[in-house]
Structure 1
Amino acid sequence: MDDRRRYDRATAELEAPFAMLDLAALRANAADLVRRAGGKPIRVASKSVRSRAVLERVLAMDGFRGVMAFTLPEALWLAGHGFGDLLVAYPTADRHALAALAGDAEAARAIAVTVDSVAHLDFIEAAVSGVRSRAEIRICLDVDAGFVALGGRFRAGALRSPVREPGDAADLAAEIAKRPGLRLVGLLAYEAQIAGVGDAPPGSGGYARAVRFMQARSARELIVRRGRIVNAVRQYADLEFVNGGGTGSVELTVREKAVTEVGAGSGLFHPRLFDFYRRFTGHPAALFALPVVRRPGPDTVTVLGGGYPASGAAGVSRLPQPYLPAGLRFAPDEGAGEVQTPLLGQAAQDLRIGDRVYFRHAKAGELCERFDVLHLVEGDRLVESVPTYRGEGRTFL
């Protein structure tokens, strides 16, 4: 039975639009991430999942340990539901959440917050200054892992931390060590230019070669610089973890002795943007289904909704992908619409009012910001329906 018929049978009693998760594909993707990690634990990036029930399923699998959260309120909420070993991977400016963390000894033992400047330390101390019986705040130092060349005229990688060199990191680690109530426990360095940029992009072969050249140079530079940074920081703190990488770089990042764990999340769902890597092939696991509501012409159908672009620089690559039935494409002058999306192609000839078209989101967890439930499919059966963060009334961003 092909995937489309299998999904139609499993979800026959559901009304579209809905979001679903193919559990066999999820397990296969998880197993491949673990294989690529070569024995080092994988910290699950919750922003790519955004369902507490799915996070629990993944963390129950061998090879996964801990959560990389995206906000402190999210981490506090997860800690309140029994999750431990939570790293908030982005600095927080939430005074109320910081005060709550400092006032909850159990949560404070489970959560580490990220900083990259003295200004962050000052902010944290001011936010918790009025808390009685204040718990120690666990700190993770975020380091810039971007690639810089041509004397600084070329840069690839996310614009994150200003801390780049071993001396920078050592100075900040020394400052943390001076401050009572703060303890440096971890280091984070995310190489977005490798982990989040496919080395087999569609289109120009010249661009693909340039990406591979940049990534090879970046990996060589980073293995030396990250190692030196870790050694410098260990002079001031007994680090519990050094986190690096992402779905697109797992097998490269774990080769570094300085790295003790890798972060990954998108690879579990394998959204469209992760089709363009040579090093691994995933299985589309998270999909959303939209109903056909019009037939404007013999090779055209219109589905309800669909305007779910992914974050990042605007462009075609951020649009969802009509996936099943294969062969459908967006109308060039409409794209994915807020309330309706026309789809063109020969495959439209066999679609009738009420039929489903299955889509893949360009990125992973943002799909769950659109739907309150994920329907879990095993083979051709719907085995469970679980809430997303949104379904539990939680919208952290």
Structure 2
Amino acid sequence: METTTLPALTAVRPGRAAVGALDEATARLDPPFAALDLGALRANADDLVRRAGGKPVRVASKSVRCRWVVEEVLRLPGYAGVLALTLPEALWLADRVDDVVVGYPTADRAALAALAADPRLAARVTLMVDSVESLAFLRAHLPAAAPAIRICLELDAALRIGRLHLGARRSPTRDAGALGALASEVAADARFRLVGVMGYEGQIAGVGDDGPDRLRRLPTRAVQAASAWELARRRAAAVAAVRSVADLEFVNGGGTGSIERTVREQAVTEVAAGSGLYGPALFDQYRAFTPAPAAYFTTAVVRRPAPGIVTVQGGGWIASGPVGADRQPVPVWPEGLALTAAEGAGEAQTPLVGEVADRLRLGDRVWWRHAKAGEFCERVSSLVLVADGAVVGSVPTYRGDGHAFL
């Protein structure tokens, strides 16, 4: 049901719709399908800009995975550029977006050849380098006649206390001396142009500080405060070392969960965010902000195996990360349904329990929120767009556009 005439996100009124209203608006559609509440999307987009305090927000496309949403958000004031997941994705997005940073080092030789063969793409796409080894790979697989390739250096932003490592295992380059030396390596090679520095503090941005386990809240908050203090000083020194070698266009930091802390750092010129646009379930666990749930998926009731239990078809849309109950999707409407401990959310079917189950009949719909953001778009080919209580069209996800980048 894709349409060519869609509402501009700039014209959508911010505000969260009740899930029941979304169900009524989409009554003619059969599950499974995914829906996007445009009012909630706009409200979240505006709130991310407010939280960024005047610094540009770069859209983290892995948490969106729908080109229409990426492009519409970029039209809003306060947004600039994309942080992509892979180089093939960046090349595809850069056909219509003029500033795409690949957030991770690449080993895709075919994509590197495509980048080197197109001066327009080379001017729009920035590659990530986190070590001399990473730089050597690019040197080995980029032709000598390629246009100057834009480079961003990644600083490891994890907190280390002795042998304890708190944060994602990302860049091996941690301090000002090492990052400055790497910058000199890049600057000395005419095939490259050093334009940026990035550091992602996942231990702050991706870990909620107000989760359901009260015993973990205070330790989490203490670790995040210590990490923010340590990183601000280390990042400032590292950026200064790089700036002594090259003029930088940007210093990127943070994520949806750390924006307020990250923008306080003078060394940081922009923040990245993506999950906060959709407002998935894991992002309910933060004190500093409350995103409006904007993205949902639906399943149909196909069994009534016993009183107080219904079974829906599918439902096992599990999020990545450490295995645990919080990686399962959350049934949100009708209210009062819960997963069972014995089966959880299943690939073929998912039993749900609760008093409301006895009021459901075969064919009725259950609405869910995914634990994370863009991952659920890999399950559907399109997103149904709902605004002001009506379906206003649908747009393809990456999958619907024929792409499965990662």
Q: Could you list the runs of 5+ residues in structure 2 that have no partner in the other structure? A: 1-15
C-alpha separation in 2, matches of 1:309 and 1:14: 23
Structure 1 residue 60: deviation in Å? 1.0
Mapping for residues 273-312 of structure 1, pairs under 5 Å: 273-312=282-321
Secondary structure of 1:354's match? Answer: coil
Q: 1 CA distance for matches of 2:268 and 2:138?
A: 27
The answer as to whether partners of 2:73 and 2:79 remain within 8 angstroms in 1 is yes
Q: Deviations over 1:117-140 (max 9, x none)?
A: 1111111121112x6x41111000
Q: Aligned pair 1:188/2:198, yes or no? A: yes
User: What do the CA deviations read for 1:295-335 (whole angstroms, capped 9, x no partner)?
Assistant: 11221111110111000111101100011111111111110
| Alpha-carbon distance in structure 1 between the residues aligned to 2:101 and 2:212 | 34
CA distance in structure 2 between the partners assigned to 1:21 and 1:5 by the alignment: 14
- Residue 385 of structure 2 corresponds to residue 376 of structure 1: yes
- Secondary structure, counterpart of 2:271 in structure 1: strand
Within 1, Cα distance between the matches of 2:353 and 2:17? 22
- Structure 1, residues 193-216: CA drift from partner, whole Å, max 9, x if none? 00000001112x231100000011
Report the alpha carbon displacement of residue 12 of structure 1 after superposing the two structures with TM. 1.4
> Structure 1: how far apart are the matches of 2:89 and 2:357?
42
The percentage of counterpart residues that share the same residue type is 58
Name which of 342, 349, 354 aligns with 2:351: 342
Q: Which residue number corresponds to residue 265 of structure 2?
A: 256
Partner of residue 18, structure 1: 33
> Does the 8 Å CA contact 2:17/2:37 hold for their aligned counterparts?
no
1:155 equivalent to 2:165? Answer: yes
Counterpart pick for 2:149 among 134, 137, 144 = 137
| 8 Å CA contact retained: 2:129, 2:153 | yes
Give the secondary structure class of the aligned counterpart of 2:358. Answer: helix
1:7 is matched with 22
Describe the superposition over 1:81-126 as per-residue Cα deviations: whole angstroms up to 9, x where unpaired.
x111100000000011111111110000001000111111111121
Give the counterpart letter for 1:303 in structure 2: V
In structure 2, the residue matched to 1:232 is 241
Tell me which of 68, 73, 90 is aligned to 1:75. 90
Contact preservation (8 Å) 2:382, 2:400: yes
Residue 5 of structure 1: how far off its partner (Å): 2.8
Alignment match, 2:7: none
C-alpha contact 2:277 2:294 (8 A) present in aligned 1:
yes
| Partner deviation per Cα, 1:339-360 (whole Å, 9 max, x = no partner) | 1100001121221111110000
Residues 224-271 of structure 1: CA distance to partner in whole angstroms, max 9, x if unpaired? 111010000111111100000000000110010000000000000010
Q: CA deviation at 1:153?
A: 2.6
The question of whether the paired residues in 1 share the 8 Å contact of 2:20 and 2:333 is answered with: no
Tell me the equivalent position of 2:363.
Answer: 354
Question: How many residues are aligned here?
Answer: 391
**How far is 1:336 from its partner?**
0.6
Q: Tell me, what secondary structure is at the counterpart of 2:335?
A: coil
In terms of mean alpha carbon deviation, does 114-123 or 254-263 score higher? 114-123
Shift of 1:2: 7.5
Q: Name the aligned partner's letter for residue 110 of structure 2.
A: H
Conserved in 2, the CA contact under 8 Å of 1:96 and 1:127? Answer: no
Q: Distance in 1 between matches of 2:164 and 2:223?
A: 10
Where does structure 1 differ by over 6 angstroms across 4 or more consecutive aligned residues? none
Give me the whole-angstrom Cα distance separating, in 2, the residues matched to 1:287 and 1:304. 16
Q: What residue number does 1:29 align with?
A: 44
**2:77 counterpart of 1:65:** no
TM-score (norm 1): 0.97
Q: Is the 8 A contact 1:48 1:364 kept in 2?
A: yes
Conservation of the 8 A alpha-carbon contact between 2:17 and 2:39: no
Q: Give 5+ residue unaligned stretches, structure 1.
A: none
Q: Output the CA distance in 2 between the equivalents of 1:333 and 1:58.
A: 41
Please point out which of 237, 244, 248 is paired with 2:253. Answer: 244
Please say if residues 6 and 379 of structure 1, whose CA atoms lie closer than 8 Å, have aligned partners that are also in contact: no
Q: Distance in 1 between matches of 2:48 and 2:133?
A: 36
1:2-61 CA-to-partner distances (Å, cap 9, x unmatched) read: 823311221112110000100011011111111100000000000000000111111111
- What is the TM-score when the length of structure 2 is the normalising length? 0.95
Q: Following the alignment from structure 1 to structure 2, what is the Cα–Cα distance between the partners of residues 160 and 222?
A: 15
Contact 1:185-1:239 within 8 A present in 2 as well:
yes
Q: 1:266 aligns with which of 254, 265, 275?
A: 275
Contact 2:180-2:241 at 8 Å conserved across structures: yes
Aligned to 2:223, the other structure's residue is in SS state helix
CA distance in 1, matches of 2:306, 2:215: 39
1:164 is matched with 174
Aligned Cα root-mean-square deviation (Å): 1.1
- Cα separation, 2, equivalents of 1:294 and 1:2: 29
Amino acid at match of 1:350: R
Q: Partner letter of residue 138 of structure 1?
A: R
